[in-house]
A and B are shown apart, each in its own frame.
Chain A
Amino acid sequence: MSKNNCAVVGVGQTKYQTTRGDVSMAGLVREAAYRALEDAEMSWSDIDAVVIGKAPDFFEGVMMPEIYLAEALGCAGKPILRVHTAGSVGGSTALVATSLIQAGIHERVLTLGFEKQSESNATWALSLPQPFSVSINAGAGGYFSPIIRQYMIESAAPELIGCMVAFKDRQHALRNPYAHLHQHDLTFDQVVEAPMLWEPIRYSETCPSSDGACAMVLGSESVGDASSKPVAWVQGTSMRSEANTFPGRNEVNPRASRECADDVFSQAGITDRRREIDVVEMYVPFSWYEPMWLESLGFAEIGEGWKMVEEGATHIDGGDLPVNCSGGVLSTNPIGASGMIRFAEAALQVRQMAGEHQVDGVQRSLGHAYGGGAQYFAMWILGDTKP
C-alpha cells in the first residue's frame, strides 16, 4: 500500500506556564497556530483543514471546544476534526493529520493540541467515579506508582534512577525557552529530598500543571520540497491501544506499546534502534517512565533501561541517545498538547531548529506519546530525507 510523503514544514508553541491569565482558550490556540504558520511561511488561507486534540472536555468544562475554536484557527468553511485519546492525544492528533496528507486528501494541514489546566482540576477530572466500575480515586500519580514499584522490583534498579531522570530533564529544560519549569538553582540533592507524593514517586519526579498549545503545519511532498527551510519527513507512524485492565496484562511493559514500537521502527526500516535513532522525545510524566519506555521501545534490553539513565546515555551532553532535550513532560505538561510537543520537538531536532537544546547532526528522531492507564500509544519517526 503506497502512501504519499508528508513533511513537517512549520512548528509553533506558546510559552508554557501555570496560568495564561491574559488569553482565552481561543487566544491560546491562536498563538501557537499563528507561530506555526509563520514558521511555515504560510497564511490562514493556505491551510486546507485543521486537526485538533485535547484531553477530555470535562478538564475545562467546555464541551466540543473545537466548534468554538474554529474561528480562532481560521477554519470557517473548512474541515475541522477533533481527536480524543487521553494523554496520548497530541501524538494521535498529529498522526490523524499526517494520514490526511498521506492519503492525498489535503496538501496542507494545521494540527494543534492544547490544554488550559488553570481553568480546571486535572486530578479531580482523572478521578471521576463511574457507575458499576471500580474507582481507585487516585489521580494519575496514585495510579502509576504501583506500576513503577513493580518495575523497580523486576529490574532491581537503584532507588535514585527516577531522581536522575527528573534532574536531567529539568537541566534540559533550562535550554528550552518555552519550557514551563526553569529551575536554575535546582540541585540533585533537592530532587532526592523532595516530599514523597505517591511512594515511590517524589514531588520532584512529577510533571507540572501547565497552560499551553503546540501546533504544526504538515505538508505534502510538493509542499515539503518547496519549503525554504529544512523540513522533517515522516518515515513511520503507528498507533495502538489496549484496555487498562484485563487478566494477565503487563502493566509495566504493555503489549500495545511494544507492538506500536515494532510497527513504527519496521516502517522506517530501522533494525538497530539505539544506533539508528539520534534523539528521542518520549512521554515521561513520572520520572521512572524513562527507563520503562527505553525498554518497551527496544532501546534497552528488558530490565536494563535504568542502566542507560545511570550511564548518562540519555543526557544531551555526551549521551548517545539523548531523551527529552526539551525538558519533556516533567518540565511542561499542558496535557492535551504534551504529545504534540513531543512530536514537534522531534521535528525541530531533525530540522536543526531546536536552538540551545539542539543535538548535533540529528538525522532521525522518534516522537512518542502515551495516555490513559498506559494504554494508548502514538509514535512517529522523522528523518531529514524522504522515506
Chain B
Amino acid sequence: MNEERLRADLVLEYPFTRTTGPVIGAFMTGLREGIIIGIRRADGTVVVPPLEYDPTSADPLTELVTVGQAGVVESWTWVDPPREQSPWQQPHGLALIHLDGADTPLLHGVLVNSADAMSTGMRVVAKFRAEREGHISDIEGFVPEESVQ
C-alpha cells in the first residue's frame, strides 16, 4: 500500500443569519430577559423549547407559556474531558431536565464538580448570565437547587 497520501486543509467559513419567527424568537427573547418559555399543545401539555407546529397534528401552536426555572434531572451523563468546542471547559454533567410546568425535558449542562454530585431525580435550577443576548448560552448551566438556597 502506498503510504504517501495527498492532504489539503479545507476551511469553509462565511457568516449565516437566522430569522427565528414568532415562536423560536419568543424563546430567544425570553432567555435574554432571564425567563424560559414553552408552548402549550391542544391537549394542555407544554413543550420546552417551544415548537412552531404540533409534532402530531401539524396545527400551528401559539399559546406561549413561561415555565419554571427549576426542575428535576430525568437522565444524565458525565462529560470528562469536554471537547474543545464544548460550551463548558470543565468536566460537567449533561442532563435532560424536566422543568416545573413543562411536559418535555430540556437538554442542558449541570455545573457540579464531580459525577458523584449527579443523580437522577435531583432538583436543579438555571443559572443565568448577568449579560444576556438572546441565546441558549444565556443560561450558563443548571446547578443543584439546594446550593442556591
Given known pairs A121-B15, A128-B12, A132-B8, the reply for A72 and B21 (CB within 8 Å) is no
Knowing A71-B58, A131-B8 touch, does A120 contact B53 (C-beta < 8 A)?
Answer: no
Q: Determine whether the beta carbon of B55 is less than 8 Å from that of A119.
A: no
Given contacts A58-B12, A128-B12, A132-B6, contact A72 B53 (CB under 8 A): yes
* B51 at interface by CB-CB < 8 Å: yes
A381 to B123, CA, bound (A): 63
Docked Cα-Cα span, A14 to B18, in Å, equals 19
Q: Are A26 and B52 in contact (CB under 8 A)?
A: yes
B135 to chain A, nearest CB (A): 16
Query: Which 7 interchain pairs have the tightest Cβ spacing?
Result: A24-B21, A74-B58, A131-B8, A61-B16, A124-B14, A44-B58, A71-B53
User: How many residues on chain B are close to A (CB under 8 Å)?
Assistant: 25
| Contact for A72 among B19, B20, B25, B52, CB less than 8 A | B52
A202 lies within 8 A of chain B by Cβ: no
Secondary structure at the A interface, as helix, strand, loop or mixed, is loop
A342 at interface, CB cutoff 8 A: no
Residue from B19, B51, B53 within 8 A of A20 (CB atoms): B19
Q: Cβ of A124: which chain B residues have Cβ within 8 Å of it?
A: 14
Least Cβ distance of A346 to chain B in Å?
A: 28
Footprint of A on B, CB under 8 Å? 6, 8, 10, 12, 14-25, 51-58, 60
Interface residue? A129 (CB, 8 A): yes
Residues in A neighbouring B60, C-beta threshold 8 A: 30
Contact check, B53 vs A26: say whether CB atoms are below 8 A apart.
yes
Q: Which residues of A contact B53 (CB under 8 A)?
A: 26, 30, 71-72, 74
> Are B14's CB and A24's CB within 8 A?
no
- The reply to whether A71 and B54 contact each other, CB–CB distance below 8 Å, is yes
What residues of A have a CB within 8 angstroms of the CB of B25 in the complex? 24
A116 at the interface (CB under 8 A from B): yes
Cβ–Cβ contact A21 & B52, under 8 A? no
- Number of residue pairs A-B, CB distance < 8 angstroms: 68
Do A119 and B58 contact each other (CB < 8 Å), given the known contacts A27-B52, A71-B51, A132-B6? Answer: no
The size bracket of the interface on A is 20 to 34
Is A67 engaged at the interface, CB distance under 8 Å to the other chain? Answer: no
User: Does A22 touch B at the CB level, under 8 Å?
Assistant: yes
Interchain CB contact under 8 A, A60 and B16: yes
User: Which of A23, A73, A128, A131 meets B21, CB within 8 Å?
Assistant: A23
**Cβ contact within 8 Å between A27 and B18:** no
- Compute how far the CA of A44 lies from the CA of B17 in the bound complex, rounded to whole angstroms: 30
CA distance A61 to B15 in the complex (A): 9
- Besides A19-B19, A71-B51, A132-B6, 19 more A-B contacts (Cβ < 8 Å) are A20-B19, A22-B19, A22-B22, A23-B21, A24-B23, A24-B24, A26-B53, A44-B57, A60-B16, A71-B53, A71-B58, A72-B52, A72-B58, A73-B58, A76-B56, A119-B17, A121-B15, A125-B14, A131-B8
Q: Which residue of A lies closest to B51 (CB)?
A: A71
Select one of B6, B52, B56 contacting A24, CB under 8 A: B52
Is A118 on the interface with B (CB-CB < 8 A)?
Answer: yes
**CB-defined contacts of A73 to chain B, threshold 8 Å:** 58
What distance in Å separates the Cβ of B72 from its nearest Cβ neighbour in chain A?
26
Nearest residue, chain B, Cβ from A19: B19
